Structure 1
């Protein structure tokens, strides 16, 4: 794994004990890792020995990992995400109506995105964007910029597709978001 700049792991893997242990070992051997979906369970109750990890949980995944319930109170969520990130020496991008991104020292909120993005594959798109940015940027910068790009692309897709949007519609709008940032 040391010859890869970044790995993205967890999407659709399953939760058997063998998979959980294998994913943990792969993460610990990688230079940098973005951990999503089923991969998040591999970090539960483990000691992390590296700081170049980004996790991208939704509320239920965050609860399974941290034991902390996400609430409607954004300030409370900021506190639990920031503390969890600091205590575990990683960066968390908590997905939700307002994404909360923290490495335990810095905290960012992302309000792009919409309810149409709650379809299969959008988390995979986010993990891919974050991973590509993480190759040449810090974890906090990759996470906050990735959340903004994905949410903005989702907003553009929603204007056209409404609640029928697919993850591929978000991907198709990424170039439009990047062009608008120039």
Structure 2
């Protein structure tokens, strides 16, 4: 992976823990051995936090939407139990929450988790949630297009930076499951 993606100035995330949410930094300390890349190949770049939302970020930093990934938290209920999952999809797609994700969670209805709930349960900032460092009990559903992308930009757990990582590494995270058709093309 190149040291620059668009105009991002990246460096090893392990050397810039100040640019990561605490759960993300902790996850990098115990990076899975089976991951297709080493933890030192997880890169981070500082960004303007007012430009953290995908469209604004891509435009400002010259990163293409097909190389930008989003991590959304989905919640569904069955009885008194709320089930959560993280969905990792390319910015050119949207997660099929009420189809694929609802069936995966085995719930009647699934929806994006409310912002305050997603933030408190992940320990990350809204708009910066990433699959690295999520609660271990949550499945991480990764659209197959993400792992087919050589490198992607994704949140770092905070709004003032982004992570650059090999797409296949996201499919190898603990609890990750690669799913064909998890997302649908936008537009």
Task: Name which structure has the greater RCO, CA cutoff 8 Å, separation 6+.
Answer: 2
Q: TM-score surpassing 0.5?
A: no
Q: TM-score, normalised by structure 2?
A: 0.28
Q: TM-score, normalised by structure 1?
A: 0.28
